[in-house]
Amino acid sequence: PRPVTAATLSCRRYVAGGQCKSTAKLEGKVVIITGANTGIGKETARDLARRGKVVVACRDIAKAEAAASEIRAETGNQQVIVKKLDLADTNSIREFAEKFLAEEKELHILINNAGVMLCPYSKTADGFEMHLGVNHLGHFLLTFLLLERLKQSAPARIVNVSSLAHHGGRIRFHDLHGEKSYNRGLAYCHSKLANVLFTRELARQLQGKSQRRAGFTANALHPGSVHSELVRHSFVMTWLWKVFSFFLKTPWEGAQTSIYCAVAEELDSVTGQYFSDCQPAYVSPRGRDDETAKKLWSVSCELLGIQWD
């Protein structure tokens, strides 16, 4: 093996980015993490399981059980619970929420982490384009269904995993489901912009209602370019990820900003923000467009057949 030089180490440190320093405990608190069976979701679950109770919400139950039992063994926390959740099917989302609400009286942190990337054109069970359906609409509905429980448990936090890719996105209201034109890279960007706009509007609504309890926040984040399974739908990206793995974050490094947004004490009253490397980051002008955020909110409610007052 080649000797590790100072330059190599400093390059790795730069790539690794920020680290969550908070030692906050979550005793008696309940966290839901979607897509926590692999990648940054699994690392987020591993960290938070050292602090409190974690519900691992995943489509693939076998993978989720394997991840959960590994985390239980490592942390000694038996309160790592697996629940079935398929974000590409609103019936599954409603079923998950119903069961969770029947079993758990409190919910303190919701981490909307699961996502799809670079899928060939396909639709969810409800006819939504897959990226928009899973990355945005699925989490929008899940948050809606769990909001009252979060409110009752406040202080509470909603954490939406977005991406730097939101800079390349736009909300194409005339062709939301990509039926007129479709590019899988852009479809991912559009869905990540939707995450930022949803977070912005959700924070505005939570702040705007006087009956809301203090300390109820919603923030979004970019985890960094992470070596994970997210690129599995693209042979080229999978190959590039292997070749340039030195310049990519490990899943543990990629999970740091999610963990930071979930537990850092200094974020107790910070809401509607976007973070990267455990610090505030630049949001694209489209991601700051309040009119688009409001319109996306009402269109999302329409598509899902819900009334979010």
Is it true that the peptide bond before 155 is cis, omega within 30 degrees of 0? yes
Catalytic sites, residue numbers: 188
Q: Exposed, middle or buried by CB within 10 Å (0-12, 13-18, 19+), for 246? A: exposed
Contacts of 24 (CB under 8 A, 6+ apart): 51, 263, 264, 265
- The Cα-based distances of 98 to 93, 122, 149, 284 in angstroms read 9, 27, 11, 36
**136 secondary structure, DSSP code:** I
143 within 8 A of 87, measured Cβ to Cβ:
no
For residues 15 and 253, what is the distance between their CA atoms, to the nearest angstrom? 9
CB 115 within 8 A of CB 59: no
Q: Percent helix, strand and coil across the chain, each rounded to 5?
A: 50, 15, 35
Among the listed residues 80, 39, 72, 40, the one whose alpha carbon sits nearest the alpha carbon of residue 56: 80
User: Distance between CA atoms of 83 and 79, rounded to whole angstroms?
Assistant: 12
Greatest C-alpha distance within the chain: 61
**Inter-CA distances, 209 with 101, 204, 205, 214, Å:** 23, 9, 7, 11
